[in-house]
Amino acid sequence: MKSHTLHLPKILACEADRIRSFGPEYVPYADQIRDLATRLDTGRFHLAVLGQFKRGKSTLINALLGEALLPSSVIPLTAVPTLISHGERRCVRVRFQGDREDEVVARDSIPELHQKLLGYVSEEFNPHNEQGVLQVEVTHPAALLAQGVVLIDTPGIGSIHQHNTEMTLNFLAQCDAALFLVSADPPITNVEVEFLHTIRDAVAKVFFVLNKVDYLTDEETETALSFFKRALRERAGIEGQVSVFPVSAKQGLAAATSGDADLWDSSGMAAVSEHLIGFLAAEKNAVLEDAVRKKALDLLGDVGLRIELSRRALEMPIDTLEDRLHTFEAKIQEAELQRRHAADILEGDRKRVVARLEEMVQALRERSIAHLREVAKTALADPAGPDEEAAQEAVSAAIQPYYEHELGETTAVIEQGVASLLHSHQQRADDLIGSIRVAAADLFDIPYRAPESGGTLSMRQEPFWVSRKGWESTFSPITKELLDRALPRAMREKRIRKRLDAQIAHLAVRNAENLRWATLQNIDTTFRQFARELDEDLAETIDATHGAITAAYRKRKEHLDETTADLARLQQASAAVTAARSELDQE
Ligand SMILES: Nc1nc2c(ncn2[C@@H]2O[C@H](COP(=O)(O)OP(=O)(O)OP(=O)(O)O)[C@@H](O)[C@H]2O)c(=O)[nH]1
Ligand SMILES: [Mg+2]
C-alpha cells in the first residue's frame, strides 16, 4: 500500500503536465489533476481524543507529543477543543467566536505556551468559555503529526460542566477517527456507553484505550481489559474482535520527556503510537488514494471524451456533422430546461427547511420558557423565603448549557434534513450531466464509461456545516437593564414570580432568535453554494462536449482546417490518455 503513496502523486503530476500541453482548453483539467496530487500530499486527518472527564486525554496527547504542552489537572479542565497539527515551530493560535481577531503566540518555551493555553482552554481560567474561544490551533514538530494527522484534545463529557459535553458533541462532525479513553480507576460508566453510541454514529474508526493502568497489577489489568471488552460488546453493541490498548499516559509522558525507551515501551504508549502510525500510513492513505484515483480516472475520461469528440467532428462528412450537432443542441436545451425545473424544486426545498426551522424555533421558545420558569420556581422555593436575586442567578447559570444543548439538537436535525435533500438533488444532477455526455458519445460513436467517483471528493459532499463560526451565538444572559428594572426586594412571591416570568420570556425570545438567525444563514449559504456548483458542473460539461464539437465545426467552415496535422495530434493525445487510464486502473 505504501508503494501507492509514492507512485500515485507522481503519475498524476506527470499526466497533468501532459494534458496541459494539449492546448488551452485542456488547462482546467490539468489543474484539477494537479490539485488531486496536492490533496494526497496534504491530506489532513482529524483524530479526536474523546472520553469522560479526567480520563487522561490531555496527558495522553502530551505523551504523544513528547512534552507537557497541554494543561492537565485533577479537576475537570479542558473546556475548548484544541487542534494540534504538524509545524516546524511550536505555535498557538486562539480563534474566537464573532469578529474578534485571532491571538497568535509563537515561542519555543513550553512553559510559556502551556501558560497561554491554560488561560484559554481551561475551565478554571476561562469558566463557561466566557472569553468566547471557538477553538485553539497548535502547531508542533512531533513526528506523528508529520503523517498528516491532526490530534484533537476535546473537553471531557459528563462532568458538572454541561457546556463542555455540548462543546464536544457539537464538534464530532469534524472528526475522522477517535481515540476513546476510559480509565482503570472506575469501570466504564453509563455515560461512557451512551457517549460511545453517539461517537460510533459520527466517526468511521474508533480506537480504544484503557488508561491509568499504573494503578493496577498485571493481573488486575487483564481483568479490567476483559471487563471493558465485554462491556463494549454487550452494552455498546461493538461486534467482532476489539483491541484495547492498556496504557499509562502519565508514565508515557515521563518516559517521553526523559527519553526512557524502556518506560515508553512498558507504559503501553509505544504500542499505541506504532498502531496509530501504521493506521495512518495504510488505511488513511488507502481511503484517500482510492477516492483520488477514481476522480483522476473520471477527469481523464472527460479529457478523452473531449479529444475524441474533436477528432470525430474533424473526420466525419460535414453534412452528417451538422445534423448531429443539431440533435445534440436540442438535447442540451432540454437539459437546461430540466436544470431550471430542478432549481425551482431546490428553492422549494430550501423554503421547506426554513419552515421546519421556524417550527423548531417556535417550539424551542415555548419549551425554554417552561424550562427556565421551572429553574426559577425551584430557586424561589427556598425555605428561607423567595430570593429574587438568587433566582435570577439560577436562571442565568442555566441559560448557556440549555441553549448549547438545543443548538446541538437543532443543528443535528437540520443538518440531516439538508444532507438528505441535497443528496437526492445531487443524484439527479449527476444523472442529467451524465445524460449529456452519453448523448454526445452516442451521436459521435465514442465508447463511453460512466464516472466512478460519484463526486466523492467534491466539496459539496463534505459536511455542509464545516465551519461552525457564527453558530456560537452568544447566549443572552440576564442583562443589566433587566436587573435594574427590578423593584426593591421586599415583595411578595407572586410579584417576584411575575417579574421573573417577564424576564424569562424576553430571554427566551432573544436566545431563540440568535439560534434561528445563525441557522438560517447556514441554510442559505449551503443551498446557494450547492446550486452554484451544480450550474458550474453543467456549464463545464456543455463546454467540454458542445464546445469541442463546435470548435471543430467552425474550423472546417472557415476552411482553417489543417485537418491532417490536427488529427495526428489528437490521435496521439488520445493514445496517451488511454494509456494513462489503464495505468491508473491497474494501480
Ligand atoms: N495515575 C495516573 N494518572 C493519570 C494518568 N493519565 C492522567 N492521569 C492524571 O489524571 C488527571 C486528569 O488528567 P487529564 O489529562 O487532565 O485528563 P482529561 O481527560 O484531559 O480531563 P478533562 O480535560 O477534564 O476532561 C491528572 O491529574 C493526570 O495527571 C495515568 O496514566 N496514570
Ligand atoms: Mg483535558
Find the domain containing 523 and state its range. Answer: 2-39+287-586
> Is residue 57 in contact with ligand 1, taking CB distance under 6 Å?
yes
Q: Do the domain assignments include residue 208?
A: yes
Residue 164 alpha carbon, nearest atom of ligand 1: 25
- Pseudo-torsion of CA 151, 157, 163, 167, nearest 10°? 30
- The pLDDT of residue 163: 66
> Cα dihedral sign for 15, 17, 18, 22?
positive
Tell me the three state secondary structure of residue 485: coil
DSSP β-bridge partners for residue 47:
151, 177
Residue nearest to atom 7 of ligand 1 (CA): 56
- In the block, residue with C-alpha cell 443524484: 427
> Is residue 76 in contact with ligand 1, taking CB distance under 6 Å?
yes
How far lies 418's CA from each of 2, 412, 414, 421, 429, in Å?
38, 10, 6, 5, 16
Residue 157 alpha carbon, nearest atom of ligand 1: 25
What's the N-to-C CA distance of the chain in angstroms?
10
Residues 348 and 365 in one domain: yes
Residues 204 and 330 in one domain: no
Residues 373 and 480 in one domain: yes
Q: How far is the CA of 147 from the centre of ligand 2 (A)?
A: 23
CATH label of the domain that carries residue 114: 3.40.50.300
Q: Which residues are found with C-beta within 5 Å of the ion, ligand 2?
A: 57-58, 77-78
Residues 384 and 520 in one domain: yes
Q: Do the domain assignments include residue 281?
A: no
Amino acid at 360: M
DSSP string over 54-120: TSSHHHHHHHHHTS--S---SS--B-S-EEEEE-SS-EEEEEESTTPPPEEEE-S-HHHHHHHHHHH
CA distance 425 to 274: 43
Q: What is the 3-state secondary structure (H, E, C) of 426-444?
A: HHHHHHHHHHHHHHHHHHC
Residue nearest to atom 11 of ligand 1 (CA): 74
Q: How far is the CA of 82 from the centre of ligand 2 (A)?
A: 10
Residue 77 alpha carbon, nearest atom of ligand 1: 24
Residues 313 and 220 in one domain: no
Q: Do the domain assignments include residue 327?
A: yes
> Is residue 273 in contact with ligand 1, taking CB distance under 6 Å?
no
Q: How crowded is residue 312: how many other Cβ atoms within 10 Å of its Cβ?
A: 22
> Is residue 212 in contact with ligand 1, taking CB distance under 6 Å?
yes
Q: Do the domain assignments include residue 560?
A: yes
> Is residue 214 in contact with ligand 1, taking CB distance under 6 Å?
yes
Residues 348 and 223 in one domain: no
Residues 425 and 552 in one domain: yes
How far lies 385's CA from each of 137, 378, 498, 499, 532, in Å?
49, 12, 16, 17, 62
Specify the pairing of strand 103-106 against strand 45-51.
unpaired
- In the block, residue with C-alpha cell 455526455: 437
Q: How far is the CA of 201 from the centre of ligand 1 (A)?
A: 26
CB 314 within 8 A of CB 40: no
pLDDT along the chain (587 residues), means of 10: 58 91 90 83 79 92 94 78 90 86 87 90 83 89 86 82 70 78 81 82 82 93 90 82 91 95 95 87 73 84 92 91 95 94 94 94 92 89 76 82 78 79 85 92 86 46 31 46 50 73 85 81 83 88 92 82 77 89 79
> Is residue 73 in contact with ligand 1, taking CB distance under 6 Å?
yes
Residue of 126, 151, 209, 250 with the most ligand 1 atoms within 8 Å of its CB, for mutation? 250
Residues 136 and 23 in one domain: no
CB 306 within 8 A of CB 25: yes
> Is residue 161 in contact with ligand 1, taking CB distance under 6 Å?
no
Q: Do the domain assignments include residue 272?
A: no
Q: CA nearest 136: which of 171, 183, 186, 184?
A: 171
Residue of 59, 117, 216, 221 with the most ligand 1 atoms within 8 Å of its CB, for mutation? 59
- Which ligand neighbours the alpha carbon of 249 most closely? 1
Q: Do the domain assignments include residue 13?
A: yes
Indicate the residue among 233, 267, 301 that finishes a domain: 267
- The pLDDT of residue 194: 83
- The grid cell for 389 is 436575586
Residue nearest to atom 8 of ligand 1 (CA): 56
- The pLDDT of residue 3: 38
Q: Do the domain assignments include residue 275?
A: no
Residue 76 alpha carbon, nearest atom of ligand 1: 24
Q: How far is the CA of 226 from the centre of ligand 1 (A)?
A: 22
The model's pLDDT over 134-165, given as tens digits with 9 standing for 90+, comes to 889 999 999 888 877 889 998 888 766 666 77
Residues 167 and 306 in one domain: no
- The pLDDT of residue 343: 93
Residues 430 and 331 in one domain: yes
Residues 315 and 214 in one domain: no
CB 530 within 8 A of CB 422: yes
Q: CA nearest 436: which of 574, 364, 331, 517?
A: 331
Residue nearest to atom 16 of ligand 1 (CA): 72
Indicate the residue among 202, 232, 267 that finishes a domain: 267
Q: How far is the CA of 196 from the centre of ligand 2 (A)?
A: 18
Residue of 65, 67, 72 with the most ligand 1 atoms within 8 Å of its CB, for mutation? 72
When divided into structural domains, the chain yields a total of 2
CA distance 288 to 311: 35
Indicate the residue among 209, 237, 267 that finishes a domain: 267
CB 77 within 8 A of CB 126: no
Q: How far is the CA of 564 from the centre of ligand 2 (A)?
A: 70
Residue nearest to atom 14 of ligand 1 (CA): 56
Q: Do the domain assignments include residue 273?
A: no
Residues 263 and 293 in one domain: no
